[in-house]
């Protein structure tokens, strides 16, 4: 349990991890950093069940189908067709664009690329300085990094 104060549950069979109040976001970003860098996520699930493949223009707004000649409000890069496609119809949506694909969609990036860029600023050693949670903290029963 991650909590600034030691609640009663901390004295049961769970491990209590103290954290500096108000630093939860940095802690979660460090968790995401480890999950991404150790590829501890289901790539197919990420592609299929959220907006990670959605294309975002350099100004931060979603790329619309109208702008690239496809149906739909939201667009992904379909690796299978090597072309933009409606987000919900892409056969194999890219999480990371090739440079060629990026040029063909006006410099757009995927939501996944933007998320990974943000998360990259919070490796565990950086987050430890913010949160007070040691970088090598692992859950009981997990394998060491």
The strand ranges marked E within the chain are 55-56, 75-78, 83-86, 109-110
Could you tell me the residue ranges of all domains in the chain? 8-131
Give the mean model confidence (pLDDT) for residues 73-87: 97
CA–CA gap between residue 138 and residue 13 (Å, rounded): 16
Q: Tens digit of pLDDT for each residue in 83-108? A: 999 999 999 999 999 999 999 999 99
Crossing angle between the packed helical segments 124-131 and 24-37, to the nearest 10 degrees:
170
Give phi and psi for 94, each to the nearest 5: -80, 140
Give the mean model confidence (pLDDT) for residues 121-125: 97
pTM assigned to the model: 0.86
| 15-to-10, 25, 35 alpha-carbon distances in Å | 6, 20, 20
């Amino acid at each position: 349990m991650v909590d600034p104060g030691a609640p009663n549950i901390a004295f049961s069979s769970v491990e209590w991890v103290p954290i500096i109040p108000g630093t939860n976001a940095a802690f979660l970003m460090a968790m995401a950093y480890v999950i991404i860098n150790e590829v501890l996520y289901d790539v197919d699930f990420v592609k299929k069940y959220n907006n990670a493949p959605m294309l975002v223009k350099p100004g931060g707004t979603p790329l619309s189908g109208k702008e690239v000649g496809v149906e739909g409000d939201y667009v992904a890069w379909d690796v299978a067709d090597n072309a933009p496609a409606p987000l919900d119809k892409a056969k194999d949506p890219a999480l990371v664009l090739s440079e060629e694909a990026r040029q063909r969609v006006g410099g757009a990036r995927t939501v996944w690329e933007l998320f990974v860029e943000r998360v990259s600023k919070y490796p565990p050693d950086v987050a430890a300085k913010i949160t007070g949670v040691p970088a090598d903290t692992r859950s009981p029963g997990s394998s060491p990094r």
